[in-house]
Structure 1
Amino acid sequence: MKLENPWKQNPWFESVAVAQRRARKRLPAPVYGALVAGSERGQTVDDNEAAFRELGFAPHVAGQQAKRSMAATVLGQEVALPVLISPTGVQAVHPDGEVAVARAAAARGTIMGLSNFASKSVEEVTATGAATFFQMYWTGDRDVVVQRMQRAHAAGALGLIATLDWSFSMGRDWGSPEIPEKVDVKTMVRMAPKVVTKPRWLYEFGRSGQLPDLTAPNLAPPGGGAPTFFAAYYEWMTTPPPSWEDVAWMREQWAQISGTPFLLKGVCRVDDALRARDAGVSGLSVSNHGGNNLDGTPAAIRMVKPIADAVGHDLEVVTDGGIRRGSDVVKAVALGARAVMIGRAYLWGLAANGQAGVENVLDVLRGGIDSALMGLGVSSIDELTPDHVLVPANFHRDLGALATDEARP
């Protein structure tokens, strides 16, 4: 029997803010809470968005370019706009999860970042035809790390993202959302009061004939079953943190296995950016893990220019955190980023309307980028410079620059 959608309405939304409001209406409170929550008081989450509001433009009144291009080449891949999909784990907001996101990325001509904590396998995601970069945490021993790299390469991953900045704090001021270890009958009964009030979310999973998947198939050992999210998280917690020698080793292993780009995600300091360059990475992401790392870390956009000035001539710099509109993308690129990565924004689109919702978010950002380029009087995203942005005094945070200077002879 085919279920008919009783809530069918105009699915299009005009901004990421509208997508967020729809996601909040549709999702059970614990699921939505997992999307918006940051660590501790949420200071960094707030600054990620607030910092973009401090930056401005000085638009032209005439002489704008009739045709404008936002195409770029990022880590060897040609993209239609400088907005990439950031890897996020366990996308229980929609039954199609990462597969829907990958299809949207392919349809809009950009890169799909896939987490090794994802609810869909790397094989399922690369089968969509999306240009996929596989993301890895430093979990397990070196043999396990190599095995996971080999699997990603065999599946067709076109690059590797190493995320090393997740320290995670359990002390969230608003309380951590409840995430069950697995979804079974007992869990469904216990959480029914929180879920039954969200019939649209239930409808989507009912129509798909599946329950929310809280396992991590990309961490399954050869011939074994996928661990639960919490089992995977335990593996991460019990793995000693990586050294810079480990970063160089990861980069070398990936070079031997695949030879495709290696992006280090989570860099906040100039001295760390220089060490990443020395370790041979292809690029780095200026990121504070969306506010889910060490609370009190400045907004990522505040750290982009100092890091791009230090290493941008040697490797590619991207950034993420707080990007909600196309003008934010333009500000980031003008300050030195090759592209941005989005996380919460596309997850809200996925929750609101599946694959089409993710495409909608990318279209919203594309429209905002085009408007900003027109107002600034440039014909290409490549023409942007720091002079196109109004930056208040003391906006930038050149963390680690003093340590770098002191280390020089």
Structure 2
Amino acid sequence: MASTRDWFETVEEAQHRARKRLPRSVYLALVAGTEKGLTAGDNVAAFDEITWRPHVADLHAKRETATTVMGQEVSMPVLVSPTGVQAVHPDGEVAVARAAAAEDVAMGLSSFASKPVEEVGAAHSKLFFQMYWVGSRETILARADRARAAGAKGLIMTLDWSFASRRDWGSPPIPDKIDLKNAVKFAPEVLRKPRWLATYLRSGGIPELSVPNLALGGEEPPNFFGAYGQWMGTPLPTWEDVAWLRQQWGGPFMLKGITRPDDARRAVDAGVSAISVSTHGGNNLDGTPGAIRSLPGVVDAVGDQVEVVMDGGVRRGSDVVKAMALGARAVMIGRAYLWGMAASGERGVQNVLSILRQGIDEALLGLGKASVHDLTREDVVLPPHFTRD
């Protein structure tokens, strides 16, 4: 089916439409990576090095894509990754939740999200709440309890973020608030994108940069940099802290940011339910290999003791299948659905998920697989020295 005004055929086209629609600074914030962007680039490029070993006969007329992740039944092995303040569309994470519910996939909600967990939980029941180690243990546990009360079925603890703000190739400045001074400063690029501006004006205002999920008991939500300040002022977490939060939560618990087998084994020792092999989209330590390169070593280290998902560089359904062939239970997507939302709001997010679903099915057909659970490493060819253990 050819692309139309209301439907795009590939994630790459969603990115192209997002670039055309968004103010320059907003778009660049979506694609930026730490320092030179080496890891952000390798997250994507590494998938191109993996090739197939397809079959040509006795193929299956129907393929099964459903699976379970952290106790949630989902229609395909794709999860919406938690991403912070979403200024690409006024409906933000609520729109994403509705699209995820429509496509029957689980969603991770960032504690730095622009919408309260209560609103997002009301829109989608298959919700995982993501937390950084911000504040005291008492405060962290209170935020987790708030998420549970809002319907969160699992917790994601993110450790793969150092917030290095250096971008050798030019990251856009992020204002701490939209006041008169910043409105004037950003006006030229915003006025060049009247459709984006009109969408916000119809919703009742300009983007807010507050972080409502860090506030408790009627507190005023901090802005993004206030939240960042809280994070910077908190002592760095230990493995003991990971085990403590997992025990206090008591339900499905994912640790996000693993790239090394030894860290994966420590996570198992801490009692986690799942591991996300992730580089935070290339926004942590630049020069770390793309996440897909680290996946096989992590899978080999933990076996079937915990579920392993992968996050980073997924742009096609075939990327999902490659990750599963290397041992992932599922993948998480970030930039891909944000581009979809920038292009067409909730419908654009659903469009991206539909593209990935179709690509998964096509890859399964070519490989002669009846189910995503039948995939093995024999279905792909890795070049020498591809993995990073």
The residue that corresponds to 1:404 in the other structure is none
2:11 aligned to which of 9, 16, 33 = 16
Whether 1:316 and 2:284 are equivalent positions in the alignment is no
Q: Which stretches in structure 1 are left out of the alignment for 5+ residues?
A: 1-8, 399-409
Alignment RMSD? 0.9
Write the distance in 2 (CA, Å) between the matches of 1:191 and 1:170. 20
Q: 1:168 touches 1:294 (CA, 8 Å); kept in 2?
A: no
TM-score normalised according to structure 1 size? 0.93
Q: 1:31 touches 1:93 (CA, 8 Å); kept in 2?
A: yes
Partner AA of 2:62 in structure 1: K
Write out per-residue CA displacement over residues 164-208 of structure 1, whole angstroms, 9 at most, x where no aligned residue: 111122221112211111123332122101111011110110111
Write out per-residue CA displacement over residues 207-241 of structure 1, whole angstroms, 9 at most, x where no aligned residue: 11122010000001312111101000011111111
Whether 1:288 and 2:283 are equivalent positions in the alignment is no
Write the distance in 2 (CA, Å) between the matches of 1:366 and 1:174. 34
Whether 1:156 and 2:147 are equivalent positions in the alignment is no
SS in 1 for 2:51: coil
Q: 2:53 touches 2:378 (CA, 8 Å); kept in 1?
A: no
Following TM superposition, by how much is the alpha carbon of 1:106 offset from its aligned partner in structure 2, in angstroms?
0.4
The residue that corresponds to 1:177 in the other structure is 172
The residue that corresponds to 1:192 in the other structure is 187
Following TM superposition, by how much is the alpha carbon of 1:309 offset from its aligned partner in structure 2, in angstroms?
1.3
The residue that corresponds to 1:338 in the other structure is 329
1:300 aligned to which of 286, 291, 297 = 291
Write the distance in 2 (CA, Å) between the matches of 1:320 and 1:130. 22
Q: 2:265 touches 2:301 (CA, 8 Å); kept in 1?
A: yes
Whether 1:377 and 2:360 are equivalent positions in the alignment is no
Write the distance in 2 (CA, Å) between the matches of 1:312 and 1:79. 22
Whether 1:69 and 2:25 are equivalent positions in the alignment is no
Following TM superposition, by how much is the alpha carbon of 1:353 offset from its aligned partner in structure 2, in angstroms?
0.2
Q: Which runs of 4+ in 1 moved over 2 A?
A: 184-187
Q: 1:103 touches 1:130 (CA, 8 Å); kept in 2?
A: no
Following TM superposition, by how much is the alpha carbon of 1:253 offset from its aligned partner in structure 2, in angstroms?
1.2
Q: 1:126 touches 1:132 (CA, 8 Å); kept in 2?
A: yes
Following TM superposition, by how much is the alpha carbon of 1:141 offset from its aligned partner in structure 2, in angstroms?
0.9
Q: 1:126 touches 1:156 (CA, 8 Å); kept in 2?
A: yes
Q: 1:304 touches 1:319 (CA, 8 Å); kept in 2?
A: yes
Write the distance in 1 (CA, Å) between the matches of 2:133 and 2:126. 23
Mean CA deviation greater in 164-173 or 87-96: 164-173
Whether 1:271 and 2:262 are equivalent positions in the alignment is yes
SS in 1 for 2:310: strand
Write out per-residue CA displacement over residues 82-135 of structure 1, whole angstroms, 9 at most, x where no aligned residue: 000000000000000000000000000011100000000000000013411000
The residue that corresponds to 1:128 in the other structure is 123
Q: Figure out how many residues of one structure are paired with residues of the other and give that number.
A: 386
Whether 1:92 and 2:83 are equivalent positions in the alignment is no
Write the distance in 2 (CA, Å) between the matches of 1:361 and 1:130. 20
The residue that corresponds to 2:76 in the other structure is 81
SS in 2 for 1:127: helix
Following TM superposition, by how much is the alpha carbon of 1:385 offset from its aligned partner in structure 2, in angstroms?
0.4
The residue that corresponds to 1:405 in the other structure is none
2:352 aligned to which of 347, 361, 367 = 361
Write out per-residue CA displacement over residues 264-293 of structure 1, whole angstroms, 9 at most, x where no aligned residue: 000010000000000000011000111000
The residue that corresponds to 2:21 in the other structure is 26
Q: 2:125 touches 2:152 (CA, 8 Å); kept in 1?
A: no
Write the distance in 2 (CA, Å) between the matches of 1:215 and 1:177. 18
Q: 2:110 touches 2:130 (CA, 8 Å); kept in 1?
A: yes
SS in 1 for 2:381: coil
Q: 2:308 touches 2:328 (CA, 8 Å); kept in 1?
A: yes
Q: 1:312 touches 1:336 (CA, 8 Å); kept in 2?
A: no
